Amino acid sequence: MSKYTTRLIISVFLFVFLISFTCQAEEIDEVSIETSKMVTGKWTLPYVSAHSAILIDTQTGDILYERDAYKKRPPASTTKVLTAITALDLAGVDEISTVSEKADRVGESSIYLSKGNKLALGELIEGALIRSGNDACVAIAEQIAGSMEEFIRLMNLKAVSLGAFNSNFVNPHGLPDKDHYSTAYDLAVIARYAMKNPVFAKTVAQQYGVIEYNQPHKSQQVKNTNKLLWSYPLADGIKTGTTNAAGKCLIASATKEGRRLICVLLNAPDRFGDAHRLLEWGFNHTEIYTLGKKGDQVGTYRLGGRDIPAVLGSDVVICIEKEKKNMLKEQALFHQNIRREIKAGDILGYYNIFIGDKLIKQAMLVSPQDYKGSPWGILNFKDFFPKTS
C-alpha cells in the first residue's frame, strides 16, 4: 500500500470521526452583534472596511462580531491555512520533498523553488505560510498526496469535517478560480482549528523565517507578509491574501493574558487597521463567563414519582459583550418521554442560555447515574386521551 493511499484512508477516517464528533460537540455559536452602536454618546464598535468580517473567541468559539460572514467570496492566499493544516495532520515535518516541474512553474507569489530541489515538508510549510509561496503549496500537495488533484480532495474533506460547509477549494494556494471560494465564518472555523497545532501556531507568529534546503544545500530568509506582526504587539498570526478578485484579505490572531481572538477580513481595503481595531475591541469590550461546570446539578427530572438530579454534561462557558452580562437568562428544558429507567449519561434535556429571547448557548443535561422508576409512577394518563375543546 502506497503512502498516498494510506494518507487517503487516514483522512477519510478522520473526516468521518470529526463529522460524528461535530454533531455532538458545540459548534461556533452565532452570537451576532450589530455593525454599529452608540452608548452614552460614544461608538462602541470600530470602523471596519471589510466587505465580509468576523471576530471569534477561540476558547468558546462564540462570534463577537460579524458582517456578511456567510457570503461566499474568493479567499486568495488565506487558502494556505487549510493547505498547511491538512499537510501537518497527515505527515511529519521531516519528510523530504523533491520539487516537481509543476511546482517550479506555478506563478505569482513564490519562494523560487526549482525543479529537483529537495527540502523538508516543514520548510515548505514555512514558505507557504510566511512568504505565501504558491510553489511551496504545490510541492506540499504533491508530497502529501502524490498529485494536486488528490490533495485538493483531502483539503475539502478536512474543511467539511471542521464544519466549513460553504467552501470549495480547487487549488492549494488560492489563485483565482470561479469554483474556489470560502466564507469569513468558514475560514474562522479552519483557523481556530489550525491554531491548536503548535507547529502551525509557531510558524505563523514569526516575523521572519529561514528555509533550509537539503539539495542544493543553502538557506533562504523569508519575511512574513502579515504586517500586523510589526504594528500590533498582541498579534501572533495568521495569514494574508491578495488577488484582484478577492481584494485584500487577512486572517489575524492575537493573544492577551492567555485569551486568543481570531478575526477574518475579506475584501478589506484597510485589512491591518480593521484587524487592529476589531481585536482591540474584542479584548476591551467582551469577556468570558463560566455559567456552570460539568457535573453541576441545575435541575431535577421526574421519573416514576422520583426527582432525578439533572447535571451539566459539559462546562457552560460563553464570551459576550460585558454590558450584556445582566441580560443573560437560563432555562432548563427536559424531555417529556415516558421512561422506565435511566442510565448514567442519558440525556434528560438541555440547559439553554439566552440574551433576551435569543438562544446563544446550549448544553446537555444528563443523569449522573442509573435509576429505575416504578412501572406505575411513570405514566401520565393525560397522554392517552385526546384533548377536547
Mark residue 135 as left, alpha or beta (left: phi above 0; alpha: psi -120 to 50; beta: remaining).
alpha
**Residue 2 annotated to the active site:** no
Closest CA to 254 of 183, 310, 324, 205: 205
The residues, ordered by sequence, that sit 6+ positions from 53 with a Cβ below 8 Å of its Cβ are 65, 66, 67, 68, 69, 184, 263, 264, 265, 266, 268, 274, 278
**Residue 132 annotated to the active site:** yes
Given 11, 52, 109, 132, the catalytic residue: 132
**Residue 80 annotated to the active site:** yes
The H or E element containing residue 194 is helix 184-194
Given 11, 77, 100, 182, the catalytic residue: 77
The H or E element containing residue 358 is strand 358-366
Closest CA to 253 of 169, 164, 187, 172: 187
Helix (H, G, I), strand (E, B) or coil at 222: strand
- Amino acid at the residue 78: T
The H or E element containing residue 150 is helix 148-161
Query: Other CB atoms closer than 10 Å to residue 275's CB: what's the count?
Result: 31
Q: Catalytic residues, which ones?
A: 77, 80, 132
